[in-house]
Chain A
């Protein structure tokens, strides 16, 4: 028994599709796997039923939303993938690693199988106010920055910068739980709704008028899916750019990169994260920060801003390999970064940081390129 296509085609307004192919044409994974979102839409329109389990490539989608951005008819192709994944989730046909991540989020509020009570350990030794005591800006740290030892430097750098700027901020400590952005994109709508319900209540209870996130992924769902209308949602690059603009934050010296002896400008290229750039059109603030750092020269890769190549870390892909494990977009991306002559590939997303750094290691480019979060550079220059 296949899935009835008509109700979904109608619900997602797929009848608006003119089969122009901009979605599949722009899809970063379509070139390496069987995933063809235009073809899937066509199936939904012309076939009465779909056998969803015959499409393992549905798990290849990174939810980068290039297809949504490019569509000339306001169809949202990626939403179909999310919907179809939802069907698989409902019938329990999910890749095992995805199931584990979802289960961990349900039990521990994070996808990594870490304990809830350890969530605030990243801030050990730092003075961070509990947002519950009241603050103007609520800093939402996020799962990966809280637990991943490689990424923990980013929230620590942010806390130092916020403190230096005299910002009245606080965090939710161990009460913070997964935002659900990836959960929704993995098709687990029920769990996502639960996270939104609990999360928005907690966030509102703090009474902050601004919410700032480490990750573009958390930022995206808070801004576009939580309905936090009276709270301004910011990605940290927006807030840091604003603090620099206001003169509340000032660089004192060029970043002192560990192990770098060379004189002269540090050449940096910037990789636009999909959830920050394509999906939320924040292109300028990260660049403004990098340009403001003394001793940094910003160069661009050919594919930048709207055309930035996805690192393959979104849409649940941090927890599932996909059908093609041979070619990685992150590897391609770091080669593009090397071609610019940059020695630093700057990112503004925890997932990009991990995938791209991994690719640098796999490609043995460690001696030519280091992947750093923008905040690491900022921290070294304050």
Chain B
């Protein structure tokens, strides 16, 4: 049996972040009176080198066996103090963090009460620390290779970067060809180069790359595993044969977007009047050069911006970020093909923010494209033509504008199958419906699922340069586990007491990670520690208390509660 624990308690001032609201000296004095505590100190910055040295020295000189640090959130510095403890010579999991910053000083103003709360939290942590068990750092090997889902620009660029680094890549594409939406475009802004010329070399490189395997007509329909070792079930809509299972160390999702269907704005008459077309249909017409309407060359061409974007009435609050630029591009091309035609763009705000964007807008106006401020409210028929009914807000009066060709600048939407993939990969979506990145600024390609990364418009509307940038970022993030060859896994996992388990399977039902499974021979639950994320759902659900979460055992939690209510 282990001798009595010897606990050191360290109260951090965090400059004035904690010390201004919590009387840290008093908390340290109080901590010194707690059971098993042999030393209690307060210090300006516990996370600093001298702060950590304090802990290391005490472990050696005072033969500490447990350490309690009352400071900021464990998500901030738990790894720091685990490192210090390890260097001090004891198991790094013998550290218990108390969050007296975010959960105390930052949210309270009454110094006396905040100090009292800090004391209670420290007492609670000390009680738990005495019962901590040693754990091992764990890591597992990584399957060498990646799966990229989606064969548009984002998917192809990401696949090529991973493959160029020497790792095998499966590129899974739902349709029967590579290229995504860009393959349907005519010319691209702001260079006006041909989309085909842009895409063809890329597609050829993907198809001939020795490390890339392209799976067309294919969809991922099943997922097992975890970062480093995923298994993906792929279903091929054209093949009768067995569906392949792919193994991968990392996954990049690049499934793209859907075009907004303007029939959801019936007042614009799309689907009703042949003169009203979407911008994507306009791309095809521009590609063929056939801009005729009913055999005539249109003399009045109107573009309407923000169709299905920035529009709460259809549930799309976001700006689609490409429409202003592609409209300017299409307007320029119309002026080229039909020099006599009058070209008018109805806009609310002109957003041409990218590199060369504003200059391109300047060039568009220089080509005598007319910009009128005001969103068109409805479109009606007038003879062979249609009439745009709206307000020119700069003139401040309602207008009726006759046109013989109207192009609706439709925005982007999350793909219809986003919900399916979201469930399959357990990926949360942002309020806009697109897949959600881990952090909007600092982790823009990561997801909450380790080893699964996002690229391109499945994460939100973006143009080709931004898509390529994000694809390359996703590839580089996906390469980290592939290059390292191992990934760390959670140390505190669920453990099953085989004598208590009745094999009811509730743990199997509640686990979001597929970690527990019923042993086919014995009928009792076994937890695959590699899959376990330590969330504790199974331990809470287990009716016979056969499952315990390490670091959160009933004894440890009850000791914490007892100390809190004392």
Instruction: Show the binding face of A for B, using Cβ within 8 Å.
Output: 18-27, 30-31, 36, 38-39, 66, 69-74, 302-303, 305-307
Contact = CB atoms under 8 A, between A and B. Distances in A.
A26 B397 contact: no
A382 to B, nearest CB: 33
A20 B348 contact: yes
Contact of B377 (A19, A21, A39): A21
B312 A303 contact: no
A27 B267 contact: no
A22 B398 CA distance: 10
B396 A26 contact: no
Max chain B CB contacts within 10 Å: which of A27, A36, A70? Answer: A70
B390 interface: yes
B389 interface: yes
A21 B313 contact: no
Max chain B CB contacts within 10 Å: which of A21, A39, A307? Answer: A21
B392 interface: yes
Contact of A307 (B306, B380, B393): B380
Given A26-B267, A30-B398, A21 B312 contact: no
Contacts of B399: 25
A23 B266 CA distance: 16
Contacts of B59: none
Given A69-B313, A70-B313, A72-B311, A22 B377 contact: yes
Contacts of A307: 266-267, 269, 378, 380
Nearest to B379: A307
Given A20-B348, A25-B398, A305 B390 contact: no
Nearest to A278: B267
B22 to A, nearest CB: 39
Max chain B CB contacts within 10 Å: which of A24, A38, A39, A71? Answer: A24
B310 interface: yes
10 contacts: A21-B393, A25-B389, A26-B390, A30-B398, A31-B398, A36-B396, A70-B313, A74-B313, A307-B269, A307-B378
B398 A70 contact: no
Interface residues of B, number: 28
B381 interface: yes
A139 B509 CA distance: 52
B375 interface: yes
Max chain A CB contacts within 10 Å: which of B312, B375, B390, B399? Answer: B375
Given A30-B398, A70-B267, A306-B267, A20 B393 contact: yes
Nearest to A16: B312
Nearest to A36: B396
B152 interface: no
A72 B312 contact: yes
A73 to B, nearest CB: 6
Contacts of B381: 302
B404 interface: no
Nearest to B399: A25
Contact of B390 (A18, A22, A66, A71): A22
Contacts of A27: 398
A70 B310 CA distance: 12
A26 B390 CA distance: 6
A26 B312 contact: no
B376 interface: yes
Contacts of A305: 266
Nearest to B390: A25
Interface string B358-402: 000000000000000111111011000000011111001111100
Given A20-B348, A20-B393, A22-B390, A72 B313 contact: yes
B558 to A, nearest CB: 46
Max chain B CB contacts within 10 Å: which of A20, A23, A302, A305? Answer: A20
Interface string B391-428: 11100111110000000000000000000000000000
Given A36-B391, A70-B377, A306-B267, 12 more contacts: A22-B391, A24-B393, A25-B398, A26-B267, A36-B398, A66-B377, A72-B310, A72-B313, A74-B313, A305-B266, A306-B266, A307-B266
A27 B267 CA distance: 13
B377 A26 contact: yes
B377 A25 contact: yes
A18 B378 CA distance: 18
Given A26-B389, A72-B311, A72-B312, A39 B396 contact: yes
Nearest to B305: A20
Contact of B397 (A36, A71, A74): A36
A18 B398 contact: no
A30 B378 CA distance: 14
Contacts of B310: 18, 72
A24 B398 contact: yes
A330 B306 CA distance: 32
Given A21-B375, A22-B375, A74-B312, A303 B380 contact: yes
Contacts of B311: 72
A238 B10 CA distance: 72
A61 to B, nearest CB: 14
Contacts of A303: 380
For the complex of A and B, 10 pairs with smallest distance between CB atoms: A25-B390, A25-B377, A26-B377, A21-B391, A21-B374, A72-B311, A20-B375, A25-B391, A24-B391, A21-B393
Nearest to B376: A25
A28 to B, nearest CB: 10
Contacts of B312: 71-74
Max chain A CB contacts within 10 Å: which of B381, B391, B396? Answer: B391
Nearest to A309: B380
Nearest to B311: A72
A21 B390 contact: yes
Contacts of B400: 31
B393 A19 contact: yes
Max chain B CB contacts within 10 Å: which of A26, A66, A73, A306? Answer: A26
Given A21-B374, A72-B311, A38 B391 contact: yes
Nearest to A336: B380
Interface string B31-74: 00000000000000000000000000000000000000000000
Interface in B475-506: none
Contacts of A18: 310, 348-349
A70 B380 CA distance: 15
Contacts of A25: 374-378, 389-391, 398-399
A306 B264 CA distance: 11
Nearest to A35: B398
B21 to A, nearest CB: 34
A13 B391 CA distance: 22
B426 to A, nearest CB: 32
B45 to A, nearest CB: 43
Contact of B375 (A31, A66, A72, A306): A72
Contacts of B373: 21
Contact of A26 (B269, B349, B378): B378
A317 to B, nearest CB: 19
B310 to A, nearest CB: 6
A36 B396 CA distance: 8
A84 B263 CA distance: 35
Nearest to B266: A306
Contacts of B375: 20-22, 25, 72
B344 to A, nearest CB: 15
B380 A38 contact: no
